[in-house]
Amino acid sequence: MKGCLLEKQANAESRPLNYTEVPDPEPGPGELLVRVICCGVCRTDLHVVEGDLEPRKMPLIPGHQIVGEVVDAGKGAEGHPAGSIIGGAWLNRTCGTCRFCTSGRENLCDSPDFTGWTRDGGFAEYAVIPASFAYPIPPGIEPVNAAPLMCAGIIGYRAMKLTGIEDWQGARLGIYGFGAAGHVAIQLARHRGADVYVATRDRERHQALAEDLGAVWVGDTYDIPPEKLDASIIFAPAGEIVPPALEALEKGGSLVLGGIHMSPIPEFEYSLIYGERIVRSVANNTREDGEEFLKEAVEAGVKTSVETFGLEEANDALIALKTDAIKGAAVLVVS
């Protein structure tokens, strides 16, 4: 089959993915073989390719926002018959036995696997997904629009959960960085009745999309919103955003850091967190998060803005993502 192989981590501009023939994967016990229809391109893929995340498998096929058709199954793989359209996400499998898995916190598993980092992912014509970690794609959502939901959507949903907001009606939510995750999260927040304030760069793409999706205020990354915010989510991998985001929070507010990698957070005055303000990170997701999110995404009528690339254009997609040239989400169309 054709796939995009990473043999050495390097800057995206050097085009490190080699579009080439790679061995067809075979499903093991409990696993599904899927014909990849499309695969979203996530900032985490960029972190894996460029070395912000340490190499865990090399060579590697990246990609963890997979949507595909089940074509075969290993022994014991149940629940997804041949022909089913399913999604595969970042969390590939967990041990099921550590103290985190047994207490409903499998996203913090001590011995996890991750699609497109510790196991080959979806930048290829075929991929393997554990049946117990596969998500049925709801009817009515086209695969190319479903792909960004598999990570950007799920992580945005979990980030919103971790804000601690219980009554969303009239709540003020800030979003910093408005790419794939941000443009899904705003739709959920508005569906719940929140007012959304977006701080992001790029007037032509990101700010314009935020306005189109109903943000009550849109400004540049370091602008201070006109109202104090009940909670904010930083999707941009930039630690320097933390102090101004804290400055914009109301007392008792929460700041959620929504990425797997972030540049160093600069020193800031204690007064920015005094008043019982909270800073917390998001680590991966649980399967429950994914199931709840997809249900709500259908109810909210979430629509993703996507820019498509061919599988052979994966390097181009990564460069476009790195340079903020994508309005919404990038998706590789494979078959």
Q: Between β-strands 278-281 and 172-176, what pairing exists: parallel, antiparallel or unpaired?
A: unpaired
Is the pLDDT at 190 greater than 90? The verdict is yes
pTM over 0.85: yes
**Residue 316 half-sphere exposure, CB side, CA atoms within 13 Å?**
10
Q: Per CATH, which fold does 154-281 belong to?
A: Rossmann fold (3.40.50)
The pLDDT-based confidence of 202 (bands split at 50, 70, 90) is confident
Residue 76: exposure state from Cβ atoms within 10 A (0-12, 13-18, ≥19): exposed
Backbone angles phi, psi at 65, to 5 degrees: -115, 70
Over residues 48-93, the pLDDT tens digits come to 999 999 999 999 999 999 999 999 999 999 999 999 999 999 999 9
Q: Which CATH number fits domain 2-150+305-333: 2.60.120.10, 2.60.40.10, 3.40.50.2300, 3.90.180.10?
A: 3.90.180.10
Q: Where are the domains of the chain?
A: 2-150+305-333, 154-281
| Domains 2-150+305-333 and 154-281 alike in fold | no
Predicted local distance difference test score (pLDDT) of residue 185: 98
